Amino acid sequence: MDADGVWTGDFHLGDWLDPGAPPDRPEDATTDRDLIASTYLARSARVVAYTALTLDRAELARSYAKVGDNIAASTWRKWSSALGKTQAGCAIAIAFDIAPVEAKEAVGRQLAKLVESNDGRIATGFLGTPLVLPALTQTCQTDAAFRLLLNEKAPGWLYQVANGATTMWERWDAIRPGGEIHSGDMAAEDAASMTSFNH
């Protein structure tokens, strides 16, 4: 952790394959990688605390809970405005209790606003996707959750279904709206191509 009490500076894949990332550089997602790393560090510490408590290790549980809470508070202080700029940022802030209780409803409204401004389409990668619908419903934004879930345009779950998917694709646009297959070309030297229809 750095002097601000968050995790910055190391390489992370972040919200991998966010549809806003350049197609050949999926690690360059719209949500800051350091923000993502810090939120997941807070979450990990809290999971360890819960596990320690379950194992009757109360002192260890208190120690890790404090670490998790401190990182969450530091993350909110450093990135509270940045968290509200992306669907993944909002979803993670809600799902991982990064946003203080009194701010969660506002973050949920902001997440719904981001969904609406994106015409009901998803804008999250691997880390934000499993959290976005629960975050919307947890903050009573069910209309936005249903709009996101039932969207048939790319990127979206039902877009994949409409194009023959029986499992999740690796890329939201593995089959492009014109019908062509995504080349999967990557800028990274160690991964020349990456497209999967069963991910």
Residue 153 has what pLDDT? Answer: 94
187 or 86, which is more confident? 86
* Two tokens, residue 182: 């995504």
Task: Report pTM.
Answer: 0.92
List pLDDT tens digits, range 35-51: 999 999 999 999 999 99
**CB neighbours of 75 closer than 8 A, spacing ≥ 6?**
6, 35, 38, 39, 42, 98
Mean pLDDT of all residues belonging to the chain: 92
Quote the CA–CA distance of 97 and 69 in Å, as a whole number.
9
Quote the CA–CA distance of 107 and 115 in Å, as a whole number.
12
18-22, 85-89, 173-177 — which is least confidently predicted?
A: 173-177
Question: 56-66 burial string, b = 16+ CB within 10 Å, else e?
Answer: eeeeebeebbe
Quote the CA–CA distance of 65 and 133 in Å, as a whole number.
26
Quote the CA–CA distance of 177 and 168 in Å, as a whole number.
16
* Two tokens, residue 22: 């350049």
Quote the CA–CA distance of 19 and 159 in Å, as a whole number.
14
Mean pLDDT of 25-29: 89
DSSP assignment letter at 21: S
SS3 159: helix
Q: Which residue, 122, 92, 123, 129, is CA-closest to 107?
A: 92
Q: With beta carbons less than 8 A apart as the criterion, state whether 182 and 174 touch.
A: yes
SS3 193: strand
Residue with tokens 């959290």: 131
